[in-house]
Structure 1
Amino acid sequence: MILIGDLEASGLMVSQKGRAFQPGNLALSRGETVMFVNDDSDLLHHVFVESDTFSFDSGDQEPGSRTPVTFTERGTFQVLCGIHPKMKLVVKVN
Structure 2
Amino acid sequence: MQSCNRKLVLVMLFGAFGSTAMTGLATASLSGSDHIIFQKGKRFGPGDVALHVGEHITVVNDDDNFVHQAYVESETFAFDSGDIEPGARAVITFPTEGDFTVLCGVHPKMKLAVHVR
TM-score calculated relative to the size of structure 2: 0.72
Gaps of 5+ in 1: 1-6
| Residue 38 (structure 1) aligned to one of 56, 61, 64 | 61
Q: How do residues 1-94 of structure 1 correspond to structure 2 at under 5 angstroms? A: 8=29, 10=31, 12-94=35-117
How many equivalent pairs are there? 88
The amino acid that maps onto 1:74 is E
AA aligned opposite 1:50: E
**Percent identity, aligned pairs only?**
52
**2: CA distance, partners of 1:9 / 1:84:** 24
Task: Determine which structure has the larger strand proportion and give its number.
Answer: 1
* Greater RCO structure (CA 8 Å; 6+ sep): 1
| Larger-gyration structure (1/2) | 2
Higher relative helix content: 2
Provide the TM-score with structure 1 as the length reference: 0.89
Q: CA deviation at 1:80?
A: 0.3
